[in-house]
Amino acid sequence: MSLEDMYQEIILDHYRKPLNRAPSLEDEAVAVHHSNPLCGDEMDLRLRVVDDAVDAVVFDGEGCSISQAAASAMTDAVIGRDLKDALDLTEDFRRMMHGDEPARADDLKDGVAFQGVAKFPVRVKCALLGWMALKDAIETYERGASAHTVTHEE
Amino acid sequence: MAFDVPALRKEFPTLQREIDGHRLVYLDSGASSQTPRVVLDAMDRYYSWSRSNVHRGVYQLAEEATDLYEGARAKLATFLDADPRGVVFTKNATEGCNLVAYSWVRRQLGPGDALLTTVMEHHANHVPFTTAANELGFEVRHVPLTDDGQLDLDAARELVADGKVRFLAAVHVSNVLGTINDVAELAGVVREANPDAKVHIDGAQAVPHLPVSFRELDVDFYAITGHKMLGPTGIGALIARPELLESMEPFLTGGDMIRDVTLEGATWNDIPHKFEAGTPMIAEAAGLGAAVDLLTDLGMDAVREHEVDMAAGLLDAVGGIDGVTIHGPSDPALRGAAVSFAVDGVHPHDVGAMLGSKGVCVRVGHHCTKPLMRCLGLTATARASAYVYNDRDDLEPLVDGIEAAKTFFAR
């Protein structure tokens, strides 16, 4: 598999025109900051919850194309889902990044395009950054807190 | 040029590889250099002919192993113009910095004292000292940079003016900016304010690339690593003034570093053995000795001349690409051939991945210099670093790869 195969057009589209990329969110319930020291990626993710569901999620920050595109595709896949369901989908994406076939390929939407990233181990962390930030935001919300900062180990 | 680069390149097995049909272009020697056949052979000879432990052996194999190990120490001492009694083998430069931090700084500095360092240190020469400062309550001061990525010596003079600085820890050549620091002058600035101050230099990026004389630099400690100077991984050295080592307590204790041991305690062996506890890296020392021989044959003046040429080539070729910014000195005479750069609108990780897919190896990330990255307002850079086996033929694939990344990731 070549590098160009990993960077499918669908990924580049999300990188060039990210969905739900914004520095702030009205009525946010939780803001989390995640960083990946290996590549210097930094991500702020904000979550709004209505009726225990993801009403809105936005991200902002700096990072490689994979991290930015994966976060963009993630937002599109989880908005409108129950928190529990969004966590379940996050787990599906995480398993896919470790080589498993996705059980919820349709629900992952453009997220399935990242399946090839699993073949580039050093980039898996990049693809997971947005999803792990979402998971943390939901768990932080469920703990009753409103902010959390996480540094992902190399 | 005093040596034949294409002929030399043939001596490095890895450099004969292809990646997806592309010739391997290795521009990451700042992270680790490639290993020539002579180094592999030296290690192989130890394992397949003289394999035994060093010191105290009374049979031929043990004498041969001891000769290999101590012979490497003597070669390294000659190469660096140092006293062999002041050459302590370590695992790497990081261990050398820790030895100094634990056996000198932590036993000497306390509240009211200050340690001077710079904002461009590698974590290896930063964390051991800041950790000590946080535990022991001494102050750490940082020499800032000029706009061209050099140490601001005027600022350094002000930082030492109160005479409280008792220790200087500074890098000789920056692994990110490529800057060659005038460490002798910086040491002079520190000692002018406090004649008893001790000076420790991280030479990991200097010794592979420049002629270095420990005596002429007139510093107290100087840490190096083998794997960046054509040697194997797992061996480095701390070069120190012998009289200073004699006055210091050991860092690690155990076998081989003792003179006598009783049920109650121990006395220490002579230097440098006092600082080498346990069975050392014998094969690696043999390999490092062979690497030193090769560098000596090439001549460090010729190596430096070659790298000024490569630095100039990299600055021209990479700096000439539209939308590329180079970090560090713009004058090749003031820097090494490690060149960090940013490509407008393309994350360094993407630049590195694109280059890698074309067989061009560069390093991306924070290069273990997070304080420097923060100073520069960056989170990461891409870095191409050249060595003796690179020549200007390696520049075209690098430039083509950067251009390809620009096109591919254009927004």
Which chain B residues are within 8 Å of A41, Cβ to Cβ? 349, 379
Q: Is the CB of B379 less than 8 angstroms away from the CB of A62?
A: yes
* A145 close contact with B: CB closer than 8 A: no
Please say if B368 is a catalytic residue: yes
Structural domains present in chain B: 5-31+300-405 (3.90.1150.10), 42-296 (3.40.640.10)
Tell me, yes or no, if A117 comes closer than 8 A to chain B by beta carbon. no
Contact B357 A62 (CB under 8 A): no
Q: How is residue B53 written in tokens?
A: 């432990």
Shortest distance, CA A64 to any CA of chain B (angstroms): 5
What would the 3-class secondary structure string for A20-38 be? CECCCCCCCCEEEEEEECC
Q: Which residues pair with A42 in a beta bridge?
A: A35, A62
Q: For position B66, what pLDDT does the model report? A: 97
Distance between B323 CA and the closest CA of chain A, angstroms:
17
Element (DSSP H or E) covering residue A150: strand A147-151
B371 part of contact set with chain A, CB < 8 Å: no
B285 neighbors B65 (Cβ within 8 angstroms):
no
pLDDT class for A27, splitting at 50, 70, 90?
very high
Cβ contact, residue pair B353, A123, below 8 Å: yes
At residue A62, the pLDDT reads 87
Residue B30 token pair? 């700042």
Report the relative pairing of strands A53-62 and A41-50 from DSSP bridges.
antiparallel
Q: Write out pLDDT tens, residues A89-141.
A: 999 999 999 999 999 999 999 999 999 898 888 889 999 999 999 999 999 99
Least Cα separation, residue A63 to chain B (angstroms)? 6
Tokens of B164: 């409280």
A41 touches chain B (CB under 8 A): yes
What is B42-55 written as a DSSP string? HHHHHHHHS-S--S
pLDDT interval class at A7 (50, 70, 90): confident
For residue A31, pLDDT over 70 is answered with yes
Closest in A4, A12, A64 to B349, CB measured:
A64
Print pLDDT tens along chain B (411 aa).
589 999 999 999 999 999 999 999 999 999 999 999 999 999 999 999 999 999 988 999 999 999 999 999 999 999 999 999 999 999 999 999 999 999 999 999 999 999 999 999 999 999 999 999 999 999 999 999 999 899 999 999 999 999 999 999 999 999 999 999 999 999 999 999 999 999 999 999 999 999 999 999 999 999 999 999 999 999 999 999 999 999 999 999 999 999 999 999 999 999 999 999 999 999 999 999 999 999 999 999 999 999 999 999 999 999 999 999 999 999 999 999 999 999 999 999 999 999 999 999 999 988 999 999 989 988 889 999 999 999 999 999 999 999 999 999 887
Would you call B354 and A16 a contact, using CB atoms and an 8 Å cutoff? no
Distance of alpha carbon B330 from alpha carbon B216, whole angstroms: 27
Give burial (CB, 10 Å; 0-12/13-18/19+) of B199: buried
Q: Given this model, what pLDDT does residue B335 score?
A: 97
CA distance B108 to B339: 37
Q: How far is CA B296 from the centre of its chain?
A: 18
Q: How far is CA A29 from CA B26, B142, B164, in A?
A: 48, 40, 50
When scoring A64, A66, A67, A72 by the number of chain B Cβ atoms within 10 A, the one with the most, hence best to mutate, is A64
Residues of B in contact with A38 (CB under 8 A): 365
Minimal Cα distance from A65: which residue of B? B350
> In angstroms, what separates the C-alpha of A75 from chain B's closest C-alpha?
20
> A154 falls in which pLDDT band (50, 70, 90)?
very low
| ipTM topping 0.95 | no
Which amino acid does the sequence have at B185? Answer: E
B408 touches chain A (CB under 8 A): yes
pLDDT band, very low/low/confident/very high, at A41 (cuts 50, 70, 90): confident
CB-CB neighbors (< 8 A) of A120 in chain B: 353
Q: Where are the domains of chain A?
A: 3-151
Question: In this structure, which amino acid lies at residue B239?
Answer: I
Using an 8 Å CB-CB cutoff, list chain A residues near B356.
Answer: 3
Most B-contacting residue of A39, A41, A154 (CB-CB within 10 A), to test interface: A39
Mean of the per-residue pLDDT values of chain A: 92
Neighbours of B44 (CB within 10 A): 14
Biggest CA–CA distance in chain B, Å, is 71
Q: Is A44 on the interface with B (CB under 8 A)?
A: no
SS3 B28: strand
Contact B242, B86 (CB under 8 A): yes
Output the pLDDT for position A11.
Answer: 92
CATH number listed for the domain at residues A3-151: 3.90.1010.10
A4 touches chain B (CB under 8 A): yes
B357/A39 Cβ within 8 A = no
Q: Please tell me the distance in Å from A4's CA to the nearest CA on chain B.
A: 9
CA distance B22 to chain A (A): 13
In DSSP notation, B60-125 reads HHHHHHHHHHHHHHHHHHHHTT--GGGEEEESSHHHHHHHHIIIIIHHH--TT-EEEEETT--GGG
- B-interface mutation test, from A8, A14, A65, most B Cβ less than 10 A away: A65
Q: Chain A within 8 Å of B374 (Cβ-Cβ)?
A: no
